[in-house]
Amino acid sequence: ILPLVSVNHILLLLLVLTVCAILYNKVHHVPLALRNETEMDLESPEEMEEEIPVVICAAAGRMGAAVAAISSIYSNTEANVLFYIVGLKTTIPHIRKWIENSKLKEIKFKVVEFNPMVLKGKIRQDASRPELLQPLNFVRFYLPLLIQKHEKVIYLDDDVIVQGDIQELYDTKLAPGHAAAFSDDCDLPSTHEMVRSVGMQNTYMGFLDYRKQAIRDLGISPSTCSFNPGVIVANMTEWKHQRITKQLEKWMQRNVEENLYSSTLGGGVATSPMLIVFHGKYSSINPMWHIRHLGWSPDARYSVQFLQEAKLLHWNGRYKPWDYPSVHTDLWENWFIPDPSGKFKLTRPDS
């Protein structure tokens, strides 16, 4: 009997050990898988909220514009905005000091130097509007070279202020195959009266010289509505895939040789190549996200109610809100931050 009992004890012991082994496996291995899932779940909230890259240029003589634009964006959003501030080698120290010594020191930003040598031989001189030939006007042509890690990018001219949440602009849907979204110049009835009153061109006829065969060969009707590239939502993958920068450079060089861009009121050496390259191949930005022409006349004004509803205001034209005369300067000055170095000063009637 004793040997039988011993065998039973051994079998019982083996059974207990087997059960223990199973339990051990459950306790030590299954929770490991669960722990991995838990760790992933815990990491998710810690993953950085999607960055919204916003490109703005800081040009000599108008850095206050870039500061006001940045200030307005930062003050009106909770989004994770990363500002790419593009300047020339000589201007970068000034804008960096301005930001770091003002309330903008809290923003996330990168300063990017633009090398004007990339434009050599690509710009035809225009004595009537020399300010349009400044190198930083062409930064928008080279977005993928300046911004490396982002799929989607917002580019803004410096003479804007943003009154809405920039997240809304960033969420603009781009159709498949489109490298960029712009605002049409014929989109808002509210702006038509302004356009008529200041003689602003809003068709291709105002930008391209249709007397030239190369322009007629494009097959674009001169009455086609133009768009304004002062506000761009761009898809970097499509931009690179379609070699947009190379296409723009090609038309810049052709203009040097053939003078294809009209020098009429609506003309602009940075707008015209974009009108050609993006014709029929761009998505639309909500028109309230680009209310423009505020700089085309020192007298023509929008209604107060219309301006309050606007998400973005653009002083495109000669009459800038940091100079005098200009219109709606109070809206712009809400966001201006004085230059700590005292180099940049507003021009006002009593100054």
**73 contacts: CB under 8 Å, gap ≥ 6:** 54, 81, 83, 162, 166
Amino acid sitting at position 236 = M
SS3 content of the chain, % helix, strand, coil (to 5): 45, 15, 40
| Whole-structure pTM value | 0.84
pLDDT at 300: 83
pLDDT tens-digit profile of 279-295? 999 999 999 999 998 99
Give me the CATH topology for the region 52-189+229-235+278-334.
Answer: Spore Coat Polysaccharide Biosynthesis Protein SpsA; Chain A (3.90.550)
**213 contacts: CB under 8 Å, gap ≥ 6:** none
End-to-end CA distance of the chain: 116
pLDDT at 7: 62
How many angstroms separate the CA atoms of 313 and 251, rounded? 29
Asked if residues 300 and 318 have their Cβ atoms less than 8 Å apart, the reply is no
pLDDT at 43: 37
Residue linked to tokens 């201007």: 91
Residue linked to tokens 């301006």: 307
How many angstroms separate the CA atoms of 328 and 296, rounded? 12
How many angstroms separate the CA atoms of 179 and 188, rounded? 23
Beta-sheet pairing, 160-162 with 152-156: unpaired
How many angstroms separate the CA atoms of 284 and 150, rounded? 21
Torsion angles phi and psi, residue 129, rounded to 5: -135, 70
Asked if residues 325 and 298 have their Cβ atoms less than 8 Å apart, the reply is yes
The sign of the CA dihedral 338, 71, 100, 109 is negative
| Residues of the chain with confidence (pLDDT) below 50 | 1-2, 26-47, 265
pLDDT at 26: 47
pLDDT at 12: 72
pLDDT tens-digit profile of 218-250? 999 999 999 999 999 999 999 999 999 999 999
